[in-house]
Amino acid sequence: MSSPQEFFGNIADLIRGIPRDIILLLNRLPYVHLDPENDVRGVIVILMTAILAIYGLTNLLLAPWLERKVMARMMGRRGPVYVGKFGLLQLIADIFKLISKEDTMPMTADKFGFNLAIFMMGIATIMSFAPIPWARGVVGANMDIGLLYVFAVFSVFPPAMLLGGWASNSKYSLIGGFRAAAQLVAYEIPMMLSILGVLIFSGSLNLMTIVEEQYSNGWYVYRAFPGLFIAFVIFLFASLAETERTPFDIPEAEGELVMGPRTEFSGWRYAIILMVEYIHMYVNVILVIVLFLGGWDVIPVIHGVNYPEFLWMIKDNRLIQFLAFNVKIYIGVFFVTWVRVSFPRFRIDQFIEWGWKTLLPLSFIALGIVVVYAGLLVA
Amino acid sequence: MTAIPIEYPLILSSALFSLGVFGVITQKNAVRILIAIELIINAANINFVTFASYNPNADISGWVFALFIIAVAAGEAAIGLAIFINVFRNFGEINVKHLFTLREV
Amino acid sequence: MESEIIYYALGVVTSPFIGSLILTIFAFIHYAKTHGHEETEENNHEEHEEHGLKYTPLENFVSTIGILSIFASWVFMLLLAIKFFTTEHHGAFLTTSYDFFGFPVTQNIQVGLLVDALSVYMGLIVTTLALLIHMYAREYMHGDKGYPRFFATFNFFTGIMLSLVFSSSFFELFIFWELVGLSSYLLIGFWIFKPSAAHAAKKAFLYNKVGDVALLSGFLILYKLTGTLNFMELPDKIHNLTPLQTALISVLIFGGVIGKSAQFPLYTWLADAMEGPTPVSAILHSSTMVKAGVYMVARVFFLYWQAHEGEYNFAGDNWALAVVAWVAAITALLAGLQALVENEIKRILAYSTVSQISYMVLALGAGSKTAAMYHLLSHATFKALLFLTAGAVIHVVHTNNIWEMGNLRKKIPKTFTAMLIGAIGLSGFPGISGFWSKDAVLATVYYSDVPGNKILFTLGVVTAFITALYTTRFIIVVFFREPTPENIERVEHAHDGGFFLTIPPLIMAALVILESLTFIPTPIFKFEEWLMEWLEPGVHAHEVALTLPILSAIVVLLGIGTGIYLYYYNYNILASLNQNKVIIPIREFIAQRYYIDKVLYWIANVPAMIVSRLLQDIDIKIIDRTIIDTWIVKGSLGLAKISDVFDQGIIDGIVNGVWMIALTLGRAFRKLQTGIVSNYASIFAAALVIFLGYVNFLIFIK
Amino acid sequence: MGWFLEANFILIGIITILMAFGTLSTKKVMRAAAFLLLTLVGVALTYLFLGFEFLMGIQITVYAGGILILFLFSVLLTGHEEFKMDLEFAKENIVQILISILLFFTLTALMLSIYGNYQLTGNELVLQAQTKGLTQDFSVALFSHFNYVLPILGVLLFSAMLGSVKLVLREEEL
């Protein structure tokens, strides 16, 4: 290890090197002829993705804890304190509790749909970690269609919700499923429209490229002001709605629908659903950061301001980039919690109307401003 | 990346196509018929993408067409399902074997 | 650089249109809202307290849009002029042109913008005066129900004139030429409830059309012979024409000028056009419509010059310029005489305009574009000024007749000052702008080689005398003479108008003074030579003998002196002159406009009536009675009988057979249609299998 | 490592075909829709193998996220009938089943024979596409040479949207 700033680069190179060495070893066996450059690419991708996803998941254990703590403090309580230091291990204890419970399923439920919905959601959430850049060069799968991939994976949620709601064979679940699907569909459109402004500037769907562009030209929040700022706000609220967090947790609305489409799930299935919900929130926060808040970039560049050399050294340091990214994620999680504690729930018709009649035109306006700005930039 | 022979996607597409046709001519529920039609469309799409990908002249018009087809399928599904909902409202069912008001009885 | 100039020119041309478009839409909405309340004379002249001069929000909006769009045009024009005159473009053409629709028939007919010294010079005059007149119209039209309509049309008119100025081909010029006619029609007949206004508008339109036919045939012949209509290409192509062809085309094109620029014998419409609002008269006379003819001749001056080239022999073919010059000289004299006997102030100015335009055309006929444009500039300024002030006078005393005014100089001092400056310019008082430009025209005529140039010069000098005389006449009658008893009350209440009614005329007066200072020839800077350098590079002015300006100054001073003597000091002589038995018939002859209208009516009417009577007889006797009543009726009866048999027997039989076949087949095939979707789909799939199997079979065989 | 990709492709193809069969043979329409989702994902993976990852994203987003929701909603709105493929079904629809099987064979034979003709001329068809930088090429082509496609799609989808809204609204709601 030459210096701390190359630490993460070396780790990434190490991960890339391991499968190559394994293949070189395998080539010594009879009848095996493998090309160490081309054939290991997929393996590297899978390996990197797995490592980063595992990192993300472990990291994620802290998010619910943080949320509960912050919520408790905002409500004047203390939150979890008994398990581990400051109650840090509370979530692990919860998971063990859920897994060790009896595996029950309603008798009239549709078994196929009941299980399929859980698996689809679980697999999709974990898949969504693949193209996320954690620092320069530290990424699972550096794919051209990164953003589209994330949205494609997320778009499996509405049918899964509806399927799960239907398969439970309970009217609360079914209504919850309907609401979830309607909400997800309604808020996907302003979400998509608000990222178009980002795409105009980045010129790529690749999340790495998007972050690199922000690294050299400034974060998107304050560029093309106020076009991309409006887009940022829209994206933020739409992603809160996508993750069905309070104040947008209409599908599960305890007072009306018990737990929405999740009502009949229990035991390990409920654990998976909890995990899915948190990962969904987590990845959405990451998307907000990557698309608008500079991703792993540490110091935002301002057009026309020359930074001294040491600031660029800080910006180029991968370790600092990685840490900054994590800090941003926690700030995001804190923000989400804050919103959850502060606002009451919307009513379903208000909410859908807000999506179609306010956010959609607003996102068009934002897009128009960005287009005019980009046109001026080109001209 | 050059390993997959062209036969595989072609067979896959013809199998999907035949299954779709089978669905269209045997099913009674109109929504199921529409689902079968989606299968047929997907089979056609696979063929477009295949021949475009294997084209030695690197012509991508097949891909553009595939994109076009997906969008057309979206419109088709929306219109078709709207029609079925209307049919359900008027007749109380969407069993195509019972919907023959155009026939002279 | 060049593209910059073209963009400026585009800005100049389009901004009035944009304003006009907005106002038109607005006017439509406004009239739809007010349910198109008929404009009538009663509700149009709402009296308003002068001190409580309040614009309604509607008027504020409309006039702001109108003035702003013209202001934008003016700013663009200034930028364009600065760019053009500070860079070296002696005689260079800058143009963008687009093929017109790309039809094979219209090859080489292009639409574009032509920016050269002439068009920049003209555009500068048009935009500046239009801006001031728009500002004036803001107050003048106050309280009129047609306020939005007026500004929309007015802006449109300005835009059309600017487009005409920047036209790059004859075709384009003709389009805008006709549109100028249309918009002047709309503006002259602006007060649609007045029959006289409607009549004047129709008259202007029809008189213009007579000239336009000549113009159209002229440039179509040109197109046939040279194959192009572009001003840039024409000078090169023109050398292949014979002198006769050139002369013919030139004279035909001059026919258009006779109509539009009000030359003898088609000039009477201009006086009637005074029925329009005063801003319309001002812009019509100063810079736009009537000057369009002068501008066009200057634009295609190479054509006339080509006709004129070589030895000048009247027996031969080269007589185009002579026609121009003689028509102009005659018009100048006739119109000047008529201005002397008119009583309505606006009509006096109108005939004065005709006379002055004839000066410009005379300069063109004598072969000098520069002198014409020189006089155009000075005349445009002071004539616009005179009209605006005349309008102000009419506005405050509510009459048009000069004999009903009098001694107004103390009541309306600002207007009086402005009008006096304009009148001094018009009369050609030595040292003032009109004097220098008129002098240039007369010198050109004197030194030209047009046949009878000395006679033309004499006519011009006489006209100058008359000009000074009638100018003095109306100034004295309006401002110095004591009013008659029945008009005292009317005059007593007169006072100056509001801001917009006084400031634009004063600005114009300042412009006249500025021009006068500029025109004074000094050894360092001579305006005429500077202009000639730009408009006609390579041509040099004659050395003018000092006797000419002295003669001209004497004549003008004589005219002014006569006027003061006749109308101010010794009014009795005038009265006795009016009673003179020799003078009365001449006066009557002039006041009846030399019976030109009647003659024209006779020419247009009598032959047509004779021919139509003849044709009526032929129609009734031969066609109706013989051909239709006997031959055609009987023949068609016979044919009808034959076709009846054919219809009943053969066609009905075929139709019946067809439906029977269709019925039988339909009964047979009906069994096949089960109405169930799946069955159709099965049959379709089976057919697909058979078809694919057949194709497979074919490939297998191969 | 060609065999690895080949094996993967065959596996995914077989799963896709099985899912498609499941779509047609399952008892409940809702389940059929779920199977359709899996079929669509399988087809999307096929696109990935054919080097067109962009269409994979579009396929999943549009089909699975958009069209399938429509199906699920309309299934729940129109009620679902029980359906079962058993021996009696086979007896009733023997002709239709035969037609489908024949169709599969003729179609496959046709396509393979055309490919065979290709081979005879010495131009063997091989997969041309490279994955890297391809999305960019495709989008550039979409906005330059095929720039009419997206406007046409916009008009088409807009009219489809209006049409379906008009169809579904009841008379008194209009």
* Domain identity same for A124 and A22: no
ipTM over 0.90: no
Integer Cα distance of D45 and D48 in angstroms: 5
Residue A351 lies in a domain: yes
Question: Nearest-CA residue of chain D relative to B95?
Answer: D81
**What are the beta bridge partners of residue C59?**
none
Dihedral angle sign, alpha carbons of residues C397, C401, C403, C407: positive
- For helices A318-342 and A268-292, give the axis angle rounded to 10 degrees: 120
Residue A93 lies in a domain: no
Mean pLDDT of C547-568: 85
Integer Cα distance of A276 and A128 in angstroms: 11
Element counts in chain D: helices (H) and strands (E): 8, 0
pLDDT at B42 over 90: yes
Q: Please indicate whether, in this complex, the C-beta atoms of D115 and B36 are within 8 angstroms of each other.
A: no
Which of the residue ranges C60-64, C89-93, C108-112 would you say has the lowest mean pLDDT?
A: C89-93
Write out the residue range of the structural domain in which residue A11 sits. Answer: 1-76
Residues 6+ apart with CB under 8 A from A6: A318
Mean pLDDT of C679-686: 87
Rg (CA), chain A: 22
Residues of C in contact with B25 (CB under 8 A): 678, 681-682, 685
Inspect the structure and tell me whether chains A and C have 3 or more CB pairs less than 8 Å apart. no
In chain C, % of residues over pLDDT 90: 9
Residue C696: name the closest of D102, B45, B19 by CA: D102
Integer Cα distance of A278 and A301 in angstroms: 32
pLDDT at C311: 43
> Of D6, D24, D33, which is closest to B22 when you measure between CB atoms?
D24
Which of the residue ranges A110-114, C291-295, C348-352 would you say has the lowest mean pLDDT?
A: A110-114
Question: Is the Cβ–Cβ distance between A348 and A255 less than 8 Å?
Answer: no
Inspect the structure and tell me whether chains B and C have 3 or more CB pairs less than 8 Å apart. yes
* Domain identity same for A212 and A259: yes
CA separation, residue B82 to residues A352, B48, C575, C681 (Å): 21, 28, 96, 21
Residue in this structure with the two tokens 């202001």, named with its chain if needed: C71
Mean pLDDT of C578-594: 78
* Domain identity same for A258 and A366: yes
Which of the residue ranges A189-193, A198-202, C221-225, C542-546 would you say has the lowest mean pLDDT?
A: C542-546
A82-98 pLDDT tens trace:
877 777 788 888 888 88
Q: Cβ–Cβ contacts within 10 Å for residue C353, how many?
A: 28
CA atoms in the 13 A half-sphere facing the CB of A357 = 6
Integer Cα distance of A324 and A295 in angstroms: 9
Question: Is the Cβ–Cβ distance between A178 and A162 less than 8 Å?
Answer: yes
pLDDT confidence band for A330 (50 / 70 / 90): confident
Q: What are the contacts of D155-160 at 24+ separation with CB within 8 A?
A: D156/B71, D156/B72, D156/B75, D157/B71, D157/B74, D157/B75, D159/B75, D160/B74, D160/B75, D160/B76, D160/B78, D160/B79
Interface of D with C in 67-106 (CB under 8 A): 95-96, 99-100, 102-103, 106
Residues 6+ apart with CB under 8 A from B21: B36, B40, C681, C685, C688, D99, D100, D103
Residues 6+ apart with CB under 8 A from C413: C496
* Most confident option among A180-189, A268-277, C349-358, D79-88: C349-358
Integer Cα distance of A271 and A99 in angstroms: 7
Residue C71: name the closest of C12, C122, C24, C121 by CA: C12
pLDDT at C31: 80
Q: Which of B45, B53, B94 to mutate to test the interface with D (most CBs of D within 10 A)?
A: B53
* Domain identity same for A20 and A123: no
pLDDT at B13: 92
**D174 and C CB contact within 8 Å:** no
Residue A214 lies in a domain: yes
pLDDT confidence band for D80 (50 / 70 / 90): low
Integer Cα distance of D109 and C693 in angstroms: 9
pLDDT at A30 over 70: no
Residues 6+ apart with CB under 8 A from C290: C260, C261, C262, C270, C284, C353, C357
pLDDT at C90 over 70: no
Q: Which is more confident, C390 or A38?
A: C390
Query: Token digits for A184?
Result: 């997800």
pLDDT confidence band for B45 (50 / 70 / 90): very high
Mean pLDDT of C328-334: 89
Q: Which is more confident, D155 or C266?
A: D155
Q: Please indicate whether, in this complex, the C-beta atoms of A116 and D76 are within 8 angstroms of each other.
A: no
Q: Which is more confident, C351 or A38?
A: C351
Residues of C in contact with D103 (CB under 8 A): 685, 688-689, 692
Question: Is the Cβ–Cβ distance between C665 and D79 less than 8 Å?
Answer: no
Q: Which of B25, B84, B105 to mutate to test the interface with C (most CBs of C within 10 A)?
A: B25
Residue C700: name the closest of A349, A331, A271, D113 by CA: D113
* Domain identity same for A72 and A152: no
Mean pLDDT of A275-281: 85
* Domain identity same for A254 and A117: yes
Mean pLDDT of the residues in chain A: 81
Residue D168, SS3 per DSSP: helix
pLDDT at C300: 85
Residue A281 lies in a domain: yes
Contacting partners of chain C (3+ CB pairs under 8 A)? B, D
pLDDT at C319: 72
Query: Token digits for C568?
Result: 């101010």
pLDDT at A39 over 50: yes
pLDDT at C307: 58
CA D68, chain centre distance (Å): 12
Q: Which is more confident, A23 or C679?
A: C679
Q: Please indicate whether, in this complex, the C-beta atoms of D107 and C685 are within 8 angstroms of each other.
A: no
- For helices A207-217 and A171-202, give the axis angle rounded to 10 degrees: 50
Q: Please indicate whether, in this complex, the C-beta atoms of D99 and C692 are within 8 angstroms of each other.
A: no
Q: Which letter, b or e, does each residue of B64-99 get, where b requires 16 or more Cβ atoms within 10 Å of its Cβ? A: bbbbbbbbebbbbbbbbbbbbbebbeeeeebebeeb
C98-142 pLDDT tens trace:
665 555 555 667 777 888 888 888 999 999 999 999 988 888 888
**Pairing of the two strands A138-139 and A133-135:** antiparallel
Mean pLDDT of D126-137: 64
Q: What H or E segment, with its residue span, contains residue C506?
A: helix C499-519
pLDDT at B41 over 90: yes
* Domain identity same for A194 and A326: yes
* Domain identity same for A122 and A30: no
CA A18, chain centre distance (Å): 28
Mean pLDDT of A358-379: 84
Question: Nearest-CA residue of chain D relative to B79?
Answer: D164
pLDDT at C43: 46
pLDDT at C316: 45
Residues of B in contact with C691 (CB under 8 A): none
Residue A89 lies in a domain: no
Question: Is the Cβ–Cβ distance between C251 and C320 less than 8 Å?
Answer: yes
Dihedral angle sign, alpha carbons of residues C182, C188, C193, C195: negative
The CA distance from D64 to the nearest CA of chain A, in Å, is: 6
pLDDT at A304 over 90: no
Mean pLDDT of A114-129: 86
For residue A79, give the DSSP letter: -
pLDDT at A149 over 60: yes
pLDDT at A110: 81
Given A28, A52, A76, the domain boundary residue is: A76
pLDDT at B105 over 70: no
Given A22, A57, A76, the domain boundary residue is: A76
Q: Helices in C620-676 by DSSP H: which ranges?
A: 633-646, 652-669
Mean pLDDT of C4-17: 85
pLDDT at C45 over 50: no
CB pairs under 8 A between B and C: 32
* DSSP annotation string for C132-158: HHHHHHHHHTTT-TTHHHHHHHHHHHH
For residue C629, give the DSSP letter: I
Given A49, A76, A103, the domain boundary residue is: A76
Residue A151 lies in a domain: yes
pLDDT confidence band for D81 (50 / 70 / 90): low
Stated pTM of the model: 0.53
For residue C87, give the DSSP letter: S
Residue A59 lies in a domain: yes
**B29 and C CB contact within 8 Å:** no
Distance spanning both ends of chain A, measured CA to CA: 48
pLDDT at C427: 86
pLDDT at B17: 93
pLDDT at A220: 86
**What are the beta bridge partners of residue A139?**
A133
* DSSP annotation string for A84-129: SGGGTTHHHHHHHHHHTS-----TTS-HHHHHHHHHHHHHHHHHTT
Question: Is the Cβ–Cβ distance between C393 and C415 less than 8 Å?
Answer: yes
Mean pLDDT of A333-351: 84
Q: Please indicate whether, in this complex, the C-beta atoms of D65 and A152 are within 8 angstroms of each other.
A: yes
* Domain identity same for A224 and A350: yes
* Domain identity same for A30 and A178: no
Rg (CA), chain C: 33
Question: Is the Cβ–Cβ distance between D64 and A156 less than 8 Å?
Answer: yes
Residues of B in contact with D40 (CB under 8 A): 38, 42
Integer Cα distance of C272 and C388 in angstroms: 18
C440-468 pLDDT tens trace:
888 888 887 777 788 888 888 899 999 99
Domain tally, chain A? 2
pLDDT at A44 over 60: yes
Q: Which is more confident, C191 or D79?
A: C191
Q: Please indicate whether, in this complex, the C-beta atoms of D60 and A116 are within 8 angstroms of each other.
A: no
Which of the residue ranges A23-27, A65-69, C646-650, D170-174 would you say has the lowest mean pLDDT?
A: D170-174
Integer Cα distance of A229 and A223 in angstroms: 8
Residues of D in contact with B76 (CB under 8 A): 160
3-class secondary structure per residue, C306-355: HHHCCCCCCCCCCCHHHHHHHHHHHHHHHHHHHHHHCCEHHHHHHHHHHH
**What are the beta bridge partners of residue A138?**
A135
Which of the residue ranges B23-27, C34-38, D98-102 would you say has the lowest mean pLDDT?
A: C34-38
CA A369, chain centre distance (Å): 27
Residues 6+ apart with CB under 8 A from A282: A56, A60, A63, A329, A333
Q: Which is more confident, C505 or B56?
A: C505
Which of the residue ranges A85-94, A154-163, A211-220, C378-387 would you say has the lowest mean pLDDT?
A: A85-94
* Domain identity same for A115 and A72: no
pLDDT at B20: 92
Mean pLDDT of the residues in chain C: 82
Backbone angles phi, psi at C114, to 5 degrees: -115, 120
Residue C297: name the closest of C285, C287, C305 by CA: C305
Integer Cα distance of A264 and A250 in angstroms: 17
Residue A100 lies in a domain: no
> Of B25, B28, B103, which is closest to C682 when you measure between CB atoms?
B25
Backbone angles phi, psi at C98, to 5 degrees: -125, 140
* Domain identity same for A310 and A206: yes
Could you tell me the maximum CA-CA distance found in chain B, to the nearest angstrom? 60
